[in-house]
Amino acid sequence: MLELREATRQYRLGEVTVTALDRVSLRIERGEFVAVLGPSGSGKSTLLNLLGLLDVPTSGQVILEGRDVTHLSASERARLRLQALGFVFQRFHLVGAFSAVENVALPLEAAGWPVAARWERACRLLESVGLGHRLHFLPSRLSGGERQRVAVCRALANQPRVLLADEPTGQLHSEDKQQIIRIFQQLNAAGHTLVVVTHDPEMAHAAARIIELRDGRILRELTQ
């Protein structure tokens, strides 16, 4: 359902060209749980950003549900992201002035949901990850683990077809980490498609397929 074909992403820094991703072909099927591993600088975030339509390849193609989306305009990509994709980042990226429920409702507002419906959905999502008692807390009053659970709810708000996460447990302590891994496992068991960049062996273990990057190329793939 989500595919890279011979995707290359280069950055030009003055005279120097850095190849962050080098002719990578990859196909993510519906319902898969894929972990992307590799040392720092191996191209993991670049790969995820291409899959998530946050970035465009220098050459090659990005295919979403059979459609070549490589050359869409920035606004068309933004609309597709809102409709089809959910993102979770290492540093949560919550809006500091908004409560937990307001953060989760934000993408629903952008998608044009009526106020009562988006409020109800946001509350239901937060309750489903054990945050029913934190609905009106600002991010600054939440623990790291709670913030990341809010961010996961926000990513799920629009019922995305794929959830993409870039080191989602990178800032979390052990107990909080376990909780995020459990949530991801539950989401996958419920049929969600997940692509997770991670350094965490436990997260990788939870995935059915591991893709290891090295120097912008796929070094190996493992199905477990």
Residue 198 as a binder of ligand ADP (CB under 6 A): the answer is: no
Site for ligand ADP, residues 45 to 104, rule: CB under 6 A: 45-46
Question: Which of 24, 28, 36, 45 is the binder for Mg ion (CB under 5 A)?
Answer: 45
Here the tokens at position 195 are: 């692509």
Return the one option of ligand ADP, Mg ion, none that residue 65 interacts with (CB less than 5 to 8 A, by type): none
Question: Which of 44, 77, 121, 192 is the binder for ligand ADP (CB under 6 A)?
Answer: 44
Whether 42 and 36 have beta carbons less than 8 Å apart is answered as no
Residue 223 as a binder of ligand ADP (CB under 6 A): the answer is: no
Instruction: Return the range that interacts with ligand ADP (CB under 6 A); candidates 36-44, 88-96, 145-153, 154-162.
Output: 36-44
Radius of gyration of the CA atoms of the chain, in A: 17
Closest among 89, 66, 222 to 155, alpha carbons compared: 89
Question: Which of 14, 40, 66, 175 is the binder for ligand ADP (CB under 6 A)?
Answer: 40
Closest among 69, 82, 127 to 101, alpha carbons compared: 127
Distance CA 100, CA 57 (A): 34
Instruction: Return the range that interacts with Mg ion (CB under 5 A); candidates 41-49, 57-65, 94-102, 124-132.
Output: 41-49
For 139, residues 6+ apart whose C-beta sits below 8 A from its C-beta are 92, 94, 95, 96, 98, 100, 103, 147, 150
Residue 193 as a binder of ligand ADP (CB under 6 A): the answer is: no
Side-chain-side CA neighbours of 77 within 13 Å: the count stands at 17
Residue 70 as a binder of Mg ion (CB under 5 A): the answer is: no
Q: How many residues bind ligand ADP (CB under 6 A)?
A: 12
Q: How many CB atoms lie within 10 A of CB 119?
A: 17
Residue 164 as a binder of ligand ADP (CB under 6 A): the answer is: no
Return the one option of ligand ADP, Mg ion, none that residue 20 interacts with (CB less than 5 to 8 A, by type): ligand ADP
Applying CB under 6 A, which residues contact ligand ADP? Answer: 11, 13, 18, 20, 38, 40-46
